[in-house]
C-alpha cells in the first residue's frame, strides 16, 4: 500500500522540479544557440557573435543540472540508484554530449583554420541537438514507466527506452529548445544575426508547437486523464498554441518570455504526471518506486532544507547579477578589437555612452610607462 509523501518529501520533490525547470529554461536556449550556430552564422564574425551571447553564462547554466542531480542523490537516493541502474548508458551519452559542447566552446577560436573552426562548429551543433533530444527521451521514460522488478532495478536496455512516446518527448525538447535559442539570439544580437534568428524562430515555432501538442495530448491520455494532469496539460497546450503567433508578431523580449513559459509549463506537466512516484514500473505497478520508498530520512531532509535556505538565495543572486552584467546586445562592430567577453562588455558600455573612450590627461602630463 502506498503512503502519501511527507511535507519534506513533497518539498524536495518540488524543489527538484524547480531545479529542472530552471535548467531547461536556461540551458534550453544554450542548446538552441549551439544547434543554430552554423545555420545563422554567415562567417566567422557572425559565429563569434552567436557563441559569445552564451559564452559568459553557459557553464553557470549547467550548475542547475548538477544541483538537481545532487539534490536527487541526497533527498531520494533510491530514485537516483534506480535511474542509474537502467539509464546508465543513456546518461553516459548525455554526459558525453555535454562534455563535447564544453570543449567546443573553449577550442573553437584557438586555431584560425577554416577546417578547425568548421569541425568544432559541427561538434557544438550535434552535441547540443543530442543533449536536447536525450533529455526529452529520458523524462518521457520517467513518467511513462520503465521495465522494473520488485527490487526497483530497471531491466530495460537502451533500445527499450526508444519507444514512440519517448522519441516524441525527445523531439519535443529538441524543437522547443531550438525555438527558444532562436528567440534568445533575436533578443541578444543586432543586425543580420538578429534578423535571421527571428526568421528562424518564426519557422521553428509552429513545428515545436505541433510536436509539443502531440506529446502533451499523449501524456494526458497516458496518465489516464488525471485532474491535475489535465489542468496542467491544457495550460501547456494554450502556451504552445500561442507561441507561433507571439514569435511572429511580438517584440523579442515578449516572444522569449512566451517560449520560457511554454518550457516551464511543459516541465511542470512532467513532474505533476510523475507524482507521487519517483519512477513508475511498466512491468507491474506494484513495483512502482514511490517518493516515500526512495526518500532519505527526515533528519537528512531537514538538514538539506536548512542548507538550501542559506545558500540557494546566494547562488540565485550571483547568477542574476551575471546575466545583468552581460545583458547587452552584441553585433559585428563589437568584434573589431579585443575579443574577450569583458572587452566586448567594455565596448558596449562605451557605445551606450556610459563610459568615456579614454580619460583625457592634464596638459604637460607624462603617460605611464608602456602606454603610447
Instruction: Please list the ranges in the chain whose pLDDT falls under 70.
Output: 1-2, 336-372
| 66 three-state secondary structure | helix
Nearest to 195 by CA among 37, 15, 326, 40: 40
Calculate the dihedral angle through the C-alpha atoms of 29, 35, 37, 41, rounding to the nearest 10 degrees. Answer: -110
Predicted confidence at residue 350, as pLDDT, reads: 66
Q: Which residues contact 128 (CB under 8 A, 6 or more apart)?
A: 30, 31, 32, 33, 34, 35, 97, 101
Predicted confidence at residue 372, as pLDDT, reads: 33
Predicted confidence at residue 2, as pLDDT, reads: 57
Predicted confidence at residue 239, as pLDDT, reads: 95
Q: For residues 280 and 284, what is the distance between their CA atoms, to the nearest angstrom? A: 9
By the 10 Å C-beta count (0-12 exposed, 13-18 middle, 19+ buried), 249 is classed as exposed
Cell of residue 238, nine digits = 494554450
Q: Helix H segments across 145-190? A: 164-188
DSSP one-letter code for 152: -
Predicted confidence at residue 278, as pLDDT, reads: 93
Query: Residue 279: in which H helix or E strand, if any?
Result: strand 277-279
Are the beta carbons of 334 and 344 closer than 8 angstroms? yes
Amino acid at each position: 500500500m502506498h503512503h502519501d509523501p511527507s511535507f519534506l518529501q513533497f518539498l524536495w520533490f518540488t524543489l527538484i522540479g524547480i531545479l529542472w525547470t530552471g535548467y531547461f529554461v536556461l540551458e534550453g536556449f544554450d542548446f538552441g544557440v549551439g544547434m543554430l550556430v552554423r545555420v545563422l552564422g554567415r562567417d566567422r564574425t557572425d559565429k563569434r557573435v552567436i557563441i559569445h551571447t552564451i559564452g559568459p553564462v553557459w557553464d553557470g547554466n549547467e550548475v542547475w543540472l548538477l544541483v538537481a542531480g545532487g539534490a536527487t542523490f541526497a533527498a531520494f537516493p533510491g530514485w537516483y540508484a534506480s535511474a542509474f541502474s537502467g539509464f546508465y548508458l543513456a546518461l553516459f551519452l548525455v554526459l558525453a554530449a555535454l562534455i563535447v559542447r564544453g570543449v567546443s566552446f573553449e577550442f573553437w577560436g584557438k586555431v584560425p583554420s577554416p577546417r578547425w573552426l568548421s569541425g568544432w562548429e559541427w561538434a557544438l551543433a550535434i552535441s547540443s541537438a543530442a543533449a536536447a533530444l536525450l533529455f526529452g527521451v529520458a523524462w518521457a521514460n520517467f513518467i511513462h514507466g520503465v521495465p522494473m522488478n520488485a527490487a526497483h532495478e530497471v531491466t530495460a536496455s537502451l533500445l527499450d527506452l526508444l519507444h514512440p512516446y519517448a522519441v516524441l518527448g525527445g523531439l519535443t525538447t529538441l524543437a522547443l529548445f531550438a525555438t527558444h535559442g532562436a528567440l534568445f539570439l533575436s533578443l541578444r544580437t543586432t543586425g543580420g544575426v538578429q534578423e535571421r534568428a527571428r526568421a528562424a524562430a518564426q519557422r521553428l515555432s509552429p513545428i515545436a508547437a505541433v510536436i509539443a501538442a502531440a506529446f502533451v495530448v499523449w501524456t494526458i491520455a497516458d496518465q489516464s486523464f488525471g485532474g491535475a494532469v489535465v489542468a496542467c496539460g491544457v495550460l501547456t497546450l494554450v502556451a504552445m498554441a500561442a507561441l507561433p503567433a507571439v514569435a511572429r508578431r511580438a517584440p523579442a523580449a515578449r516572444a522569449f518570455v512566451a517560449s520560457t513559459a511554454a518550457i516551464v509549463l511543459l516541465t511542470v506537466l512532467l513532474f505533476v504526471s510523475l507524482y507521487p512516484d519517483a519512477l513508475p514500473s511498466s512491468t507491474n505497478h506494484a513495483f512502482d518506486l514511490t517518493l516515500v520508498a526512495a526518500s532519505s530520512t527526515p533528519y537528512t531532509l531537514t538538514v538539506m532544507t536548512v542548507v538550501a535556505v542559506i545558500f540557494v538565495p546566494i547562488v540565485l543572486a550571483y547568477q542574476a547579477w551575471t546575466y545583468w552584467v552581460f545583458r547587452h546586445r552584441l553585433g559585428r562592430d563589437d568584434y573589431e578589437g579585443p575579443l574577450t567577453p569583458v572587452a566586448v562588455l567594455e565596448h558596449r558600455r562605451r557605445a551606450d555612452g556610459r563610459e568615456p573612450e579614454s580619460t583625457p590627461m592634464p596638459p604637460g602630463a607624462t603617460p605611464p610607462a608602456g602606454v603610447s
